[in-house]
Structure 1
């Protein structure tokens, strides 16, 4: 079981904190969010994780101390320019089997193994994790017909909807819709595939999900993790974070591995 974690963003909404520490290493109750994610993937049965890096890439690679970390085989790829949420996949070797792809700024208790199993059973080209969300509207919502007649009026309703959780399982064949280079986002890739007749499955999970894109969201995630670490890591053992270097960004390559630029699935 293989996963790709997209960890190249700058985290601008978290500035000034991310001026010295990249967003994937932002501590959630003392533990870098990326380290939490990788432990979850390992616990779910994943053995090989590729990290797509960009901003302060050397700090992220250094935090793992090599290509083997807590039972996982790691490899690193460097984005030399922002490539969006799907473009980095073109830097990788072609997928040999279904691969889980996810963002590096999420705290969630999703069952990765169950999502993987459901995807494989469905026969879909891709599966998207969907998180139920709701918003309380502070005003009355009015609907009119083509003659401007009011046909519905709801006072301060609660609206329920599903949001993409930033977690996907992709079959190798789906990536033929990916451009060979340049910025490309996952919604565009999946919509292109869907319009071409590919089956895109939704995996709805009713659990904890939040990104850490703002200071408020980061604090919410820290409170949730602090309250029940076992919910996220499956253990009551204390988890300590790894030290993160605050030295200036260097120009050295992210690893000894060359950056590959061939398109996936071509």
Structure 2
């Protein structure tokens, strides 16, 4: 089994945090989004992973590439890197990894996290992960026939089709079939919204009678902008806490301070006259004094004092001293 991860976009809706780090490397509960995504998919599949192919922008740099290769190696898989340097759509991104598109594979876009527990339908040519949503008109949804097979993909339907939204994770029994259909899309310049789309390859597979079925997830967590990313961090902390996973470093230095679970507290964190939690991630090397923090995501080596934070997202190497509550501060910022 292979996992293909298109992740070349910089994530403009999550700026300023993505000005210095690609969105898939933003930590959720102390671990980068893409790392959690790959691990969660591997756990759902419950199969040996042979390869994890990451499709990135060349500007991400060698350090990021090394981190991604390490993610694959932790699963006992080979890590490969491909480049998509032009934003030409989901179908184009997948075809940038053309050399890896063979055999059974999962394609997963690295801006979402899931919680799921199910077995793949081995009789199907493809499984498309979906989640029931309250406002299907805001999503791409699937249309099912009486046999619970997917017969249509509809983008942001004006009239009700279904409430099962496509979340951007797909399984293909032989991803080479999708590769061939997407090659046709590229060769014939089939474009929607100015881009080459994975859906055009999938629709051609459906037209040829291939069997597509839904795979439903229990939880679908987005990381599109600051507010939803903070909410995803909160939800993931609660899931991990309920799973009995301890996320607080044993050596955290506390002076007249309280930690209210669930929290992730990294290494070499110092808390002085502070209350942290619930639902807080503090990365390695953070110092917090005379502050209360809840429902917030703080990355590494950041100093916070005299603050009352709630629904805040703060980057790496930040100094913050102030009265603002629901803030979004990028890396290397100083507000004193």
TM-score, L = length of structure 2: 0.56
1:79 & 1:163 partners in 2: Cα distance? 26
Q: 1:221 aligns with which of 229, 232, 235?
A: 232
2:204 corresponds to which residue?
A: 192
2:76 corresponds to which residue?
A: 72
Helix, strand or coil: the match of 2:5?
strand
Deviations 1:193-242 (A, max 9, x none): 2234333222233x1102201111101110011112267xx772548689
Structure with the bigger RCO (C-alpha within 8 Å, sep 6+) is 1
CA 1:78 to 1:163, structure 2 compared with 1: closer, same or farther past 3 Å? same
Contact residue 133 and residue 160 of structure 1 kept, 8 A: no
Helix, strand or coil: the match of 1:89?
helix
1:61 & 1:88 partners in 2: Cα distance? 17
Q: 1:178 aligns with which of 174, 182, 185?
A: 182
CA 1:127 to 1:227, structure 2 compared with 1: closer, same or farther past 3 Å? same
1:94 & 1:62 partners in 2: Cα distance? 19
Question: 1:110 Cα shift?
Answer: 2.2
| Matched positions, count | 216
1:99 & 1:202 partners in 2: Cα distance? 16
Structure number, greater radius of gyration = 2
Q: Structure 1 unaligned runs (5+)?
A: 138-158, 247-266
Question: 1:173 Cα shift?
Answer: 2.0
Contact residue 127 and residue 215 of structure 2 kept, 8 A: yes
The aligned runs of 1:53-92 (5 Å cut-off) are 53-54=56-57, 56-58=59-61, 59-64=63-68, 66=70, 69-73=73-77, 74-91=79-96, 92=98
Q: Structure 2 unaligned runs (5+)?
A: 138-160, 190-194, 248-263, 267-282, 285-298, 301-315, 317-336
CA 1:67 to 1:32, structure 2 compared with 1: closer, same or farther past 3 Å? closer
Provide the alpha-carbon RMSD of the alignment: 3.2
Deviations 1:20-75 (A, max 9, x none): 11110112133211111122234333422111111642253133465853233211
1:156 corresponds to which residue?
A: none
Contact residue 4 and residue 50 of structure 1 kept, 8 A: yes
Contact residue 54 and residue 82 of structure 1 kept, 8 A: no
The aligned runs of 1:89-100 (5 Å cut-off) are 89-91=94-96, 92-93=98-99, 95-100=101-106
CA 1:230 to 1:45, structure 2 compared with 1: closer, same or farther past 3 Å? farther
Contact residue 124 and residue 212 of structure 2 kept, 8 A: no
